[in-house]
Amino acid sequence: MRAKITYVVTAAVLVFYFVLVGSRGVLLIEHGTLITVTFGIAVLVLPAIGVWFLWKNTQFVRRANALAAELDAEGGLPVDELLRTPSGRIDRDSADAVFARRREETEDAPDDWRCWFRLAVAYQDARDTPRARKAMQRAIALHAATPKPSPSGEQSSPPGEQSSPSGV
């Protein structure tokens, strides 16, 4: 819950900043000279990039949290089995051992989003945030491509694929 509150507060501060910077860009454009209009347009680009970045990150977090909730409902969330130092930090050797196990699981089932989710958690525990993010993006993509059961209990095909009774 604390992480969600921190994220919402940070996002709100960023939105306030984007509005403030955007208003300055509009004021520069309204001034009307060639140089102020050029600067005004340049200033407006920054909040636009920031809004896009914030939106993409919010989407990523929401999708990752949805996967976590689904995996939790299945009872498949990874258990925190990592050793800690006296200061509370994760022991590097412990994180490496768990990571090796998660990597093997993912290599054995490369199309299972659950394995990629657990691998992302292991990467994060090993303090490899870029790879953790890539693994989570892979889990999200695999989950989106996974056929969902229909109300009648049959598996539906992913969008764009035709299913045949023979499975071919």
Separation of alpha carbons 102 and 71, rounded Å? 15
The pLDDT tens digits for 13-69 are 999 999 999 999 999 999 999 999 999 999 999 899 999 999 999 999 999 999 999
What is the mean predicted confidence (pLDDT) over 68-80? 88
Q: Contact at 8 Å (CB) between 82 and 94?
A: yes
Look at 77 and 133; give whichever has higher pLDDT: 133
Q: Is the pTM of this model over 0.75?
A: no
